[in-house]
Amino acid sequence: MKRSTKIGIVTSGGDCQGLNAAIRGVGKALFQHIDNVEIFGMYDGYRGLIEGDYKYMEAKDFSGILTQGGTILGTSRQKFIPGKAIVDDAGNDTMPAMLDTYNRLNLDCLVVMGGNGTQKSAKLLMDAGMNIITLPKTIDNDIWGTDTTFGFQSAVDIATNVIDYIHSTASSHSRVFVVELMGRDAGWLTLISGIASGADVVLIPEIPYDMAKIAEAIEWRRKHGSNYTILAVAEGAVSVNDAVLTEDERRAVKESMKHSTISYSIASELESFTGQETRVTVPGHYQRGGPPCPYDRVLATQFGTAAARLILEKKYGYMVGIQGGEIVSVPLVDSASRTKFLPTDHPLIQTARDIGIFFGD
């Protein structure tokens, strides 16, 4: 009797929209094309792999989840030492335990869905001898080798909607509004949401800002009839003063801040510079929640079915991505080795400048 094809699925790191759609894509495609397949969903990311806590998934488990946000398997963040080991809170190497679960289930492949950090840790699993295929999920869109990630467009839609709603209250009260968006150290989410929502100032990590110049831009707008200004600020935005500091020095500055996030510091400084009432809105994890938008449902499904095809072909060690509208397979060794920051010469930055959006430089 022919042995079953056995697959494990892991959703790791921060959640985002489209994870369940991707899980569904993998499962439905495998059940469609393989007569004898067994799929094991690991609970809470790598924790399930470490502790042997998993769910045997039947065909019915992949139905009715396309529109659900979050992940039906749960997720968690797992510490890892880049290029060396995945560790627990005490610093102990967890690889032996993960290998034990992988081998005990006799898995043919582990499908790992995650962001930039997860791609790196998945590479460690591959180096340890596991057959790995990864899918790029993150609202940050910072994974190298793919034009976009699932979850990103849904977050753009939400962030844009937030700023859309800020316009009326900012105008009514003649206020400056600072809207802080996610994205970690990459400016993709803030740039595209800022353009789409008509933000006046966009601050991204890749272009350090000068507070005095931002204040001048706000004053220029006020003199030319604009009684309010909206700033779309990436959570990783840095000033020209902080940009020259070392990583340790930046961490020390952040720890010494009296405000919880960069936006409150920016708002406080702007109010001192301009004398104009300034308010902060931080949508936070709201950007990662709720159902995936139609684009992400389709993209996640494409990624999931592409992963299934790689499994059928026994092509392991790849990340599924999209480049120029085509679904591609990127060697995991490449996608895990770098971060996709927003190039400062990106055409969308020039588009933004052409319509008068100010970047603080």
The pLDDT of residue 330 is above 80: yes
Written out in words, the top-level CATH class of the domain with range 154-288 is: alpha beta
Mean pLDDT of 257-276: 88
Is the model more confident about 249 or about 195? 195
CATH of 5-150+292-335, one of 3.30.70.20, 3.40.50.450, 3.40.1190.20, 3.30.230.10: 3.40.50.450
Q: pLDDT of 280-324, one tens digit each?
A: 999 999 999 999 999 999 999 999 999 999 999 999 999 999 999
User: Where along the chain do its domains lie?
Assistant: 5-150+292-335, 154-288
Summary mean pLDDT of the chain: 94
The pLDDT of residue 1 is above 50: no
Burial 69-88 (b: 16+ CB within 10 A, else e): bbbbbbbeebebeeeebbee
Q: Catalytic pick from 15, 44, 140, 185?
A: 140
pLDDT recorded at residue 2: 55
296 part of the active site: no
The pLDDT of residue 201 is above 60: yes
Tokens 């400084």 found at: 269
pLDDT recorded at residue 85: 85
Q: pLDDT of 135-188, one tens digit each?
A: 999 999 999 999 999 999 999 999 999 999 999 999 999 899 999 999 989 999
**Residues with Cβ within 8 Å of residue 225, at least 6 apart in sequence:** none
pLDDT recorded at residue 223: 92
The pLDDT of residue 230 is above 60: yes
Q: pLDDT of 49-97, one tens digit each?
A: 999 999 999 999 999 999 999 999 999 988 888 878 888 888 899 999 9
Q: pLDDT of 94-138, one tens digit each?
A: 999 999 999 999 999 999 999 999 999 999 999 999 999 999 999
| Positive or negative: CA dihedral 77, 82, 88, 90 | negative
Instruction: List, as own/partner pairs, every contact residues 273-277 make where C-beta atoms lie below 8 angstroms and the sequence separation is at least 24, other chains included.
Output: 273/211, 273/212, 273/214, 273/215, 274/176, 274/215, 274/218, 274/219, 276/174, 276/175, 276/176, 276/218, 276/222, 276/229, 277/173, 277/174, 277/175, 277/176
Q: pLDDT of 189-199, one tens digit each?
A: 999 999 999 99
Mean pLDDT of 331-355: 96
pLDDT recorded at residue 206: 97
The pLDDT of residue 246 is above 60: yes
